[in-house]
Structure 1
Amino acid sequence: MRSSEVATQAGVNVQTLRYYERRGLLEEPPRSGSGYRAYPANAVAVVRFIKRAQEHGFTLDEIEELLHLADGGPDDCAAARELAAAKMAHLAEKIADLQRMQQSLAELAATCDLPRADRCCPLIQTLHDTGETR
C-alpha cells in the first residue's frame, strides 16, 4: 500500500506516518522501483493501534513499549497490565488535581455572589497589592 492509502484508511495524514517511522513505531517500508513506499497490509492496524493508545492517554514512548509487548505471550501481558496500572494511577492523580482546581475556582466564583461590601477577589487583591507587607 502507498503512504496515502495507509494514511487515509488509518485516519491520519502522511506526515504522521513519516513521524511514526522516524520514532520507530512503524517499520520503514521497502520502496518500489519508482521510489514509493510500499507498506505491508498490517501498517493500517499498527497506526490505528497507536491512535487508540494515544486516546487512552499513553505517550508515544509507552506506545512503543506496548507495540513490543503486543507480539509476546503471557509475560508480556503482565508487563502491559503493569503499564496500564501505572497509567491509571497517573490519571487518578491528574483527576484529583483537576478536582482541587475546580473546587478552588468554585469557591472563588462563589464570592462574586456576596454583597459588594462583603466580597474580596483574591486575584484582584493580589494585583492591587503594592508589596508593602512583604
Structure 2
Amino acid sequence: MHIRDLARQTGVSPKTIRYYEQIGLLPPPQRAENNYRCYTQADVERLRFIVGARSLDLSLREIAAILALSDHGEVPCPEMIDTLDQHITVIERRIADLQALHSLLIALRQQGNRNATLWEDCVCALVRDRALATAHNAGS
C-alpha cells in the first residue's frame, strides 16, 4: 500500500508518517519501481500502536523504547507497564496540585470583595500579597 493508503487507514498524515520514519519509529519502507513508499499490514499495526500510545500522552522517546524491545524480540509489556505506572504517578501528583490550586482559588474568591478599594482590601491585593509570600518562601 502507498503512503496515502496508510494515512487513510491510521488517520496519520503522510508528513507525520515520513517524520516517524526519519526518527526511526517506523522502519524504512520498501520502495516500488517508481520509488514510491510501499507499506505492509505490519506497518499499519505499528502505526496504530504509535497513535494509541500518543493518545495516552506517551512521548516519542517512550514509544521508541517500547518498540525497540519488540524489534529485538523482547516482550515489551513490562516496559509498557512501568511507563504507564510513571504516567499514573505524574497524573496523580498533578491532580493533587490542581485540587490544592482549586481550593486556593475558591478561598481567594470568597475573600474577594467586589466593592473594595483597589489594591488595599480587594482580592487583587490578596493575589499580590500571595506572590510576595511565595517569593519570600522560595528565598528561604
Note whether the superposition's TM-score is higher than 0.5. yes
Q: Which residue of 2 aligns with 1:57?
A: 57
Q: Which residue of 1 aligns with 2:30?
A: 30
* Structure 1 stretches of 4+ moved >6 Å: none
Among 112, 117, 120, the alignment partner of 2:123 is 120
Distance 2:111 2:49 in 1: 47
Contact 2:30–2:39 under 8 Å retained in 1:
yes
What is the CA-CA distance between 1:52 and the residue it aligns to?
Answer: 1.0
How many residues in Structure 1 have an aligned counterpart in Structure 2? 125
Higher RCO (CA-CA < 8 Å; seq separation 6+): 1
Letter paired with 2:111? T
Q: Which residue of 1 aligns with 2:133?
A: none
What is the CA-CA distance between 1:110 and the residue it aligns to?
Answer: 2.7
Aligned with 2:39: secondary structure? Answer: coil
* Consecutive unaligned residues in structure 1, runs of 5 or more: 127-134
What is the CA-CA distance between 1:9 and the residue it aligns to?
Answer: 0.7
Instruction: Give deviations 1:59-116, integer Å, cap 9, x for gaps.
Output: 110011122234523xx43233222212211222222222222222222333345653
Out of 18-27 and 79-88, give the one that drifted further. Answer: 79-88
Q: 1:27 to 1:122 in 2, by over 3 A?
A: farther
Give me the TM-score of the superposition, normalised by structure 1. Answer: 0.77
The CA RMSD measured in Å over matched residues stands at 2.5
Distance 1:10 1:40 in 2: 13
Contact 1:25–1:64 under 8 Å retained in 2:
yes
Contact 2:29–2:39 under 8 Å retained in 1:
yes
Letter paired with 1:37? R
Aligned with 1:25: secondary structure? Answer: coil
